[in-house]
Structure 1
């Protein structure tokens, strides 16, 4: 959620931090700051609640001692304490010698703060992260070494962290991780640490991901310890495949528009990657997992909606009972015998999903991770991984990751059903052929929606609330449409099964109320739309010929009307732009939600 970057470089660190922090903007933030070592061993700490442009101005106005090659940067998404400059990272200790940036939650912060205050430490904020800085300071006074001080301090902490601590006088930086992502890399430019490879990929060829409990000195041959002991073998280096063009809008007005248009290509890539083993069952067999008679899907937000689509396909094609579990509620669930858990997270770092893997809902069951990052924490903790291969997605509101999760998840389930003799190969081949048609269908849907959606937005743009309806396999798309509208426009939007209208939601309909209907061909939907129109509601239908947004070649598929996702995304984006919203960085939201 928050973004961390740290570096020790031969050139001034600020040159790298400025670029890296911009690469981290997509994660979402409400303040940003840097701590920069000067050539005299002091620290310039610059922070703002503005955007990174405001931080650039502070850096440009710096008139103090020349800056050197050690520094920390941070984008904060507030969880503890208001959005103020004082609460922004980096934090500092009582002496000003140690500065620290942190992503995560310190669960015993109040207890540690009281103990440190009793020992004479002075706190400037109520932010839990500041406790870590004073805890390192306290340990440093006892052991005399920054690396050992970080190890000692973290032995007292309950919670999650990715952190970087810098000792100004020596210019040393020590980083650590537990339950929150962090990676390190050595390159000709210097040594780097970051929450996300995209922040530093411009300068590195490969990187290593910290495991839980790792503490690492940021240096070419720096120490690496694991849970207080010397790491016997460092994690394998991962080749960096990120490209600078991934973070370029390529002439588009915003990343969301670019990523909507990238969906046909992304789906083709997923199918090219998985396609050969779908209808044969080899995709499933290659995972080495045991047979299952039940499926549990675990996710949050858009990933949960994608999971609903996958679950519906499994029930329809294989007759397999499926449970859909909201990750944050997994502790309340009871595991089913012989179940397979499909844990879905775009980033692979979603805290609620990671905690769900330790819950009673999973309870020793085999877990398949469906993620856009095959090196993420979720992938490392799961028994098997399927990559949704959407490519870099900068916009906070998911678009291409949603459709790619569905395609990859459905492909996996078709393969599993073939491998377990629940689905005939001939049927599987036909389904794969239908999946292969999706890129053209998505492209056609975008072409139509770009023409017909803007006038619709003009008609409903002043509405303060929206209802989304569908039935059966279309219902998860109604849920996703409502979610996109809320995320981007900040207007109320709810989804319902169309049959539930008469059981309460019909009271919300009055003259002009926009009701978006995803028409998946269910004949009962016509009656539901008539009920809405009879009460003055403004129906916007998405579906077959004759609908307000007509989709060509729409058919009843086990995965539902996937092409409807495109006009729903375009509708939400256009409405948000009409209201003056930032569609790439919606308020209060973050791309990678690494706290509960």
Structure 2
């Protein structure tokens, strides 16, 4: 969601902040702002509820004192308070001595606001983040040191935060984190802090990730503290794998189109990296996890859809009971003996998933994380981590991360079943051989879809909504197809088990109603399609049959289901959105990393 960048550099901080904020655009935002120290020592604050292009113009037109080398930047996705300039970050204290940017939620904000108001503080916004600014101001008046003021203030705060504070005059920047991502790096260009490595990848080779309770003064060497006391040991150094070229379009019209086309190559690379370790059980053995008798999949949105594919495979191949839970609804569930919890999150910072880790149903079991971020909060809290290896995904609506989650999870679970004696090596070898053809089948599906789908999308884009149906292991793909249409077109789209049509959803079918069929060769689908056609519904089918609207080469018996249908479904959603004039890379109201409940 919200993005933070802070820097102390020898040159103008504005130059770094503008680039960094561009790199954070993919996370989604509805306002953007900066606070920059000027040559006179004051802090210039520039905010807008428009796009970063507007911020660039405002900075270019700046007529005040020259910008110095210390500054903060922030992209906000509104949660507390409406989208207004006064609610945009950075926030200032009463005397404009400090500016602050914040990600997260302050649970006791109302109580703190009331006590600070009584103490004489005046608030300019409706957001919980401004409370931090005045609380730090209050402590700064007592102790006179920004670092100590931040530490003392946070003792009273309940909730989550990734924050950065800039002090007028000194240009000092202090950052802190608790249950929100934040990392720091010191380079020849200067000292940086950010919630997302993408923001500073142009200048950084190595970085450190703050742990919960960490407070850091961006001096060199850094002054590092944890809430337990000054002088905490530094977290380990990580290498930066993101490069600015990852955010380039390379001739594509948008990132979504580029990332759809990357899927086949990514799957091929992943399978090459796993090699023979899938079929002999050694891939699973590397994670050091105990055998399990049940599997509990926890996730949200696209990640949960991927988890359902993995769950179906484990149930079918291993005969293991599985349960799939929406992360935000796990609180009342009960832990079962012999369970492995599989928590899935693209960013590894999804708050609903992180909160689920604290519930008995998950925290009382061994927990394996499947994520695209090795340094995320989810990865740090898990007993073991499987990386999906999708690389940077700029488009807000997940595409390649869905496929990569499925492939990574499938490889690991096949290996686990072999290691636990629930699947023979010979059977695993056959499955891996089938997986080896997947890149070609994904490429074939893309070629076919690009020829057929745009015309269909143009014809059905005026529909007020549509229904996606499937059977068995095709249902998670129908769910993902419906989700993509909702995300990108802003039209309603529902998915149903085809067998449930007669139990209610048929009431929605009339003349011209669009019904997308994800066909996994289940013979029962033919009767369901006839039900729709007899009521005048328009069928768009994706499958192997010659009469399918979009033909894909698939393996009907594959335990991972009709994964090839994913590509036409993605292209359908993108094509419909394009015909409606939507921004496919930045859908409204959505964020790449959902860091609030």
Normalising by structure 1, what TM-score?
A: 0.99
Counterpart residue number, 2:364: 364
* Structure 2 residue 569 is the aligned partner of structure 1 residue 565: no
Counterpart residue number, 1:583: 584
Counterpart residue number, 1:102: 102
Q: Displacement, 1:232?
A: 3.6
Question: In the superposition, relative to structure 1, how do residues 177 and 370 fare at CA in structure 2: closer, same or farther (>3 Å)?
Answer: same
Alignment of 1:440-455 (within 5 A): 440-455=440-455
Task: State the alpha-carbon separation in 2 of the partners of residues 469 and 31 from structure 1.
Answer: 38
Alignment of 1:330-409 (within 5 A): 330-409=330-409
Partner SS for 2:587: coil
Alignment of 1:216-295 (within 5 A): 216-295=216-295
Counterpart residue number, 2:557: 556
Task: State the alpha-carbon separation in 1 of the partners of residues 375 and 188 from structure 2.
Answer: 24
Q: Displacement, 1:83?
A: 0.3
User: Contact conserved, 1:543 with 1:554, CA < 8 A, in 2?
Assistant: no
Alignment of 1:294-305 (within 5 A): 294-305=294-305
Task: State the alpha-carbon separation in 2 of the partners of residues 40 and 69 from structure 1.
Answer: 12
User: Contact conserved, 1:275 with 1:432, CA < 8 A, in 2?
Assistant: no
Task: State the alpha-carbon separation in 2 of the partners of residues 142 and 458 from structure 1.
Answer: 64
- Give per-residue Cα distances to partners, 1:92-129, cap 9 Å, x unaligned: 00000100000000010000000000000000011000
Q: Displacement, 1:383?
A: 0.3
Task: State the alpha-carbon separation in 1 of the partners of residues 555 and 285 from structure 2.
Answer: 32
Alignment of 1:4-153 (within 5 A): 4-153=4-153
Task: State the alpha-carbon separation in 2 of the partners of residues 358 and 245 from structure 1.
Answer: 38
- Give per-residue Cα distances to partners, 1:454-486, cap 9 Å, x unaligned: 111122111001100000000000000000000
Task: State the alpha-carbon separation in 2 of the partners of residues 408 and 377 from structure 1.
Answer: 20
Task: State the alpha-carbon separation in 1 of the partners of residues 134 and 270 from structure 2.
Answer: 47
Task: State the alpha-carbon separation in 1 of the partners of residues 63 and 384 from structure 2.
Answer: 53
User: Contact conserved, 2:553 with 2:564, CA < 8 A, in 1?
Assistant: no
Task: State the alpha-carbon separation in 2 of the partners of residues 275 and 592 from structure 1.
Answer: 31
Task: State the alpha-carbon separation in 1 of the partners of residues 269 and 55 from structure 2.
Answer: 38
- Give per-residue Cα distances to partners, 1:109-159, cap 9 Å, x unaligned: 000000000000000011000000000000101111000000111111110
Q: Displacement, 1:231?
A: 3.9
Task: State the alpha-carbon separation in 2 of the partners of residues 431 and 568 from structure 1.
Answer: 25
Partner SS for 1:106: coil
Task: State the alpha-carbon separation in 2 of the partners of residues 72 and 462 from structure 1.
Answer: 43
* Structure 2 residue 478 is the aligned partner of structure 1 residue 475: no
User: Contact conserved, 1:269 with 1:389, CA < 8 A, in 2?
Assistant: no
User: Contact conserved, 1:86 with 1:124, CA < 8 A, in 2?
Assistant: yes
Task: State the alpha-carbon separation in 2 of the partners of residues 231 and 410 from structure 1.
Answer: 43
- Give per-residue Cα distances to partners, 1:64-108, cap 9 Å, x unaligned: 011100000000000000001110000000000100000000010
Extract unaligned runs of 5+ from structure 1: none
Partner SS for 2:320: coil
Normalising by structure 2, what TM-score?
A: 0.99
- Give per-residue Cα distances to partners, 1:188-239, cap 9 Å, x unaligned: 0000001111110100110000000000001211210112412442011101
Counterpart residue number, 1:210: 210
- Give per-residue Cα distances to partners, 1:392-432, cap 9 Å, x unaligned: 10000000000000000011100000001000000001111
Task: State the alpha-carbon separation in 1 of the partners of residues 312 and 487 from structure 2.
Answer: 25
- Give per-residue Cα distances to partners, 1:278-301, cap 9 Å, x unaligned: 101111111111111000000000
Task: State the alpha-carbon separation in 2 of the partners of residues 232 and 460 from structure 1.
Answer: 59
Task: State the alpha-carbon separation in 2 of the partners of residues 27 and 105 from structure 1.
Answer: 17
Task: State the alpha-carbon separation in 2 of the partners of residues 133 and 474 from structure 1.
Answer: 50
User: Contact conserved, 2:554 with 2:564, CA < 8 A, in 1?
Assistant: no
Q: Displacement, 1:276?
A: 2.9
Q: Which moved more, 1:480-489 or 1:327-336?
A: 327-336
Q: Displacement, 1:273?
A: 2.3
Partner SS for 1:361: helix
Q: Displacement, 1:23?
A: 0.1
Question: What value does the CA root-mean-square deviation take over the aligned residues?
Answer: 0.8
User: Contact conserved, 2:372 with 2:389, CA < 8 A, in 1?
Assistant: yes
Counterpart residue number, 2:521: 521
Alignment of 1:486-525 (within 5 A): 486-525=486-525
User: Contact conserved, 1:162 with 1:175, CA < 8 A, in 2?
Assistant: yes
Task: State the alpha-carbon separation in 2 of the partners of residues 334 and 401 from structure 1.
Answer: 30
Task: State the alpha-carbon separation in 1 of the partners of residues 231 and 284 from structure 2.
Answer: 34
User: Contact conserved, 2:70 with 2:171, CA < 8 A, in 1?
Assistant: yes
Partner SS for 1:171: coil
Q: Displacement, 1:269?
A: 1.9
User: Contact conserved, 2:458 with 2:575, CA < 8 A, in 1?
Assistant: no
User: Contact conserved, 2:47 with 2:55, CA < 8 A, in 1?
Assistant: yes
Task: State the alpha-carbon separation in 2 of the partners of residues 14 and 553 from structure 1.
Answer: 51
Q: Displacement, 1:275?
A: 2.9
User: Contact conserved, 1:151 with 1:228, CA < 8 A, in 2?
Assistant: no
* Structure 2 residue 191 is the aligned partner of structure 1 residue 154: no
Counterpart residue number, 2:326: 326
Counterpart residue number, 1:312: 312
Task: State the alpha-carbon separation in 2 of the partners of residues 554 and 290 from structure 1.
Answer: 32
Q: Which moved more, 1:262-271 or 1:204-213?
A: 262-271
User: Contact conserved, 2:335 with 2:364, CA < 8 A, in 1?
Assistant: no
